[in-house]
A and B are shown apart, each in its own frame.
Chain A
């Protein structure tokens, strides 16, 4: 077996050496067309920051969907508050790819919020804005506006509507990553997160007795750390560097929030063919109403810059 591997290795080295020799001997005869092609490869700029895209994609994939927060807000008994959302009429303000990607994320969160609260007619306004921004970013092919509009027309289609919009955003993220436009993916995600943050903060401040909402604000510290990690790869982009500076201010406010984790082995039982886990670990989130207020104010300031 070892002899076979050695022979195979020797043969490969021989072939590689021969090909290298051949290429070196031909190099002096490079045609102008070949040179132009090689030059075009060199001059092509990629949106990636020069680090392993797999690392960026892995971080992007772990950021939770803003939909989770919208569901929490509804189940906490908080009232539907469309005045907290970005106006779909702000669309003409977004002229750069930077603003378009951020506000695509913002509108995505707003659409999810209206859907969760069953206000599909409000959602339709966002679908139109989302489609416009996506088209301008050359990712409009992932939004099947006809199907989404049809589903949104009937509140009974909530599950299908949520499914198709989540799938659309997932497809967009995967596509942008595959096209080395992951900076737009980061912006899309950040816009969505900031919008969800400001909705959660405002709702938490309005409901000071709801401890779960305050904790939900506090645990965003973990998400912010991941987002800042993503931004650290794009410091050469002036827009992203400026936004990162703002997000660092938010991080400073989050430093006052303490999250402690205690691991305890989980147990499980099989119910109807599903392994149902009992998680015995826990996190304790120490956050005060003053912390929430400070985080809310900084978040609103960042969000204002994004949507204006």
Chain B
């Protein structure tokens, strides 16, 4: 009976949960991104960018006036793998993006002039590249 229940539960779980065809070690990418912050920037946060099952990944942070922030991107190889990072202000106006004229840039420097909550959003332009990491640093 136990064996039968086990088999039924296995079949049920196979039927219910999608089997991921990809795994994303975003933690490693995020950690690898920290030393890639430009000289003079103090590390603040690392962000996992795991978009395997999502269209976008979003974090928020309070940026302060008079401080310059840097956000970089790490993915497979030396490219951003189609990952785009954009910054939105509290009113959801886009104030910065790493996709410029169709070109994928691996870092944004944002000298903040207005204190407030900002949204750091990661989107994916390449259907195969939904996995990466990112680091946030600051300097005065």
How far, in whole Å, are A105 and B103 apart by their CA atoms in the complex?
A: 42
Task: Report B-chain residues with C-beta under 8 Å of the C-beta of A84.
Answer: none
Residues from chain A with Cβ under 8 Å of B70 in the complex: 274
Question: Are B114's CB and A15's CB within 8 A?
Answer: no
Q: Is A275 an interface residue (CB 8 A)?
A: yes
* B62 at the A interface (CB under 8 A): yes
Q: Which of A19, A22, A62, A273 has the most CB of B within 10 A?
A: A62
Specify which chain B residues have a CB less than 8 angstroms from the CB of A38 in the assembled complex. none
1/0 per residue B61-92: CB within 8 Å of A? Answer: 11111110010000000000000000101110
Question: Once the chains bind, are A219 and B64 in contact (CB under 8 Å)?
Answer: yes
A233-B11 Cα distance, complex, nearest whole Å: 40
Residues of A within 8 A of B44 (CB): 64-65, 67-68, 166
B residues within 8 A CB of A222?
A: 62, 115-117
Known contacts: A61-B45, A261-B116. The answer to whether A68 contacts B64 by CB under 8 A is yes
Q: Is A170 part of the contact surface with B, judged by Cβ < 8 Å?
A: yes
Q: Select the residue from B11, B95, B117 with max chain A CB neighbours within 10 A.
A: B95
Residue of A159, A170, A274, A279 near B113 (CB, 8 A) is: A279
Interface residues of B in 1-17 (CB under 8 A from A): 5, 8-9, 11-12, 15-16
Q: Does A72 interact with chain B (Cβ within 8 Å)? A: yes
- Given A18-B8, A22-B5, A62-B62, A285 contacting B98 (CB threshold 8 A): no
Does B51 count as interface, using CB distance less than 8 angstroms?
A: no
Contact of A71 among B38, B42, B87 (CB under 8 A): B42
Given A270-B100, A281-B95, CB of A223 within 8 Å of CB of B109: no
Q: Is the CB of B116 within 8 A of A275?
A: no
Report the minimum CB–CB distance from B79 to chain A (whole Å).
12
Q: Is B138 an interface residue (CB 8 A)?
A: yes
Q: Determine if B97 is an interface residue (Cβ-Cβ < 8 Å).
A: yes
- Assess A212 versus B66: contact at CB under 8 Å? Given A170-B46, A263-B89: yes
Q: Out of A18, A58, A71, A75, name the residue touching B60 (CB < 8 Å).
A: A58
Chain B: CB-nearest residue to A281: B114
User: Among residues 1 to 58 in chain A, which have CB atoms less than 8 Å away from a CB atom of chain B?
Assistant: 8, 11-12, 15-16, 18-19, 22, 26, 58
Out of B42, B97, B108, B115, name the residue touching A283 (CB < 8 Å). B115
- Determine the chain B residues whose CB is within 8 A of the CB of A64 once the complex forms: 44, 61-64
B34 within 8 A of A: yes
User: Taking A63-B62, A68-B67 as contacts, is the C-beta distance between A263 and B93 under 8 angstroms?
Assistant: yes
CA distance A234 to B111 in the complex (A): 36
**In the complex, what's the smallest C-beta–C-beta distance from B68 to chain A, in angstroms?**
9
Whether A275 and B95, one on each chain, are in contact in the complex, defined by CB atoms closer than 8 angstroms, is no
Pick from B12, B109, B138: contact of A19, CB under 8 Å: B12
- Type the 1/0 row for A273-308, where 1 means its CB is closer than 8 Å to any CB of B: 111111111110100000000000000000000000
Taking the complex as formed, is B54 at the interface, i.e. its CB lies under 8 A from any CB of chain A?
no
Question: Does residue B26 face the partner (Cβ distance < 8 Å to A)?
Answer: no
**Cβ contacts A to B, 24 pairs, < 8 Å:** A8-B15, A15-B11, A18-B8, A22-B8, A68-B67, A71-B138, A71-B140, A212-B66, A219-B115, A222-B115, A222-B117, A261-B114, A263-B114, A268-B96, A270-B105, A273-B106, A274-B108, A274-B109, A275-B98, A275-B108, A276-B109, A277-B95, A277-B108, A277-B111
A residues engaging B (CB < 8 A)? 8, 11-12, 15-16, 18-19, 22, 26, 58, 61-65, 67-68, 71-72, 75, 159, 162-163, 166-167, 170, 212, 215-216, 219, 222-223, 226, 259, 261-263, 265-266, 268, 270-271, 273-283, 285
